[in-house]
A and B are shown apart, each in its own frame.
Chain A
Amino acid sequence: NAGVTQTPKFQVLKTGQSMTLQCAQDMNHEYMSWYRQDPGMGLRLIHYSVGAGITDQGEVPNGYNVSRSTTEDFPLRLLSAAPSQTSVYFCASSYSIQGAPLHFGNGTRLTVT
Chain B
Amino acid sequence: AQKITQTQPGMFVQEKEAVTLDCTYDTSDPSYGLFWYKQPSSGEMIFLIYQGSYDQQNATEGRYSLNFQKARKSANLVISASQLGDSAMYFCAISTGRRALTFGSGTRLQVQP
**What is A's interface to B at a CB cutoff of 8 Å?**
33, 35, 40-45, 48, 50, 58-59, 88, 90, 92, 97-99, 101-104, 106-107
Which of the candidate stretches B12-20, B80-88, B91-99 sits at the interface with the other chain?
A: B91-99
Residue of chain B at shortest CB distance from A35: B103
State which size class the interface on B falls in. 20 to 34
9 A-B pairs with C-beta separation under 8 A: A33-B100, A33-B101, A58-B100, A92-B101, A101-B50, A102-B45, A103-B47, A107-B43, A107-B44
In order of increasing CB-CB distance, the 9 nearest A-B pairs are A42-B103, A104-B45, A101-B47, A43-B103, A48-B100, A42-B105, A99-B33, A98-B95, A45-B100
Q: How far is the CA of A48 from the CA of B95 in the complex (A)?
A: 13
| B68: min CB distance to chain A, Å | 15
Q: Which of A40, A90, A101 contacts B35 (CB 8 A)?
A: A101
**What is B's interface to A at a CB cutoff of 8 Å?**
4, 6, 31-33, 35, 43-45, 47, 50, 52, 91, 95-106
From A90, A92, A101, A104, residue with most partner B Cβ within 10 Å: A101
Residue of chain A at shortest CB distance from B91: A42
Residue of chain B at shortest CB distance from A33: B100
Give every chain A residue within 8 A of B44 (Cβ-Cβ): 104, 106-107
Q: How far is the CA of A90 from the CA of B37 in the complex (A)?
A: 14
Given A48-B100, A58-B100, check contact A102 B105 (CB 8 Å).
no
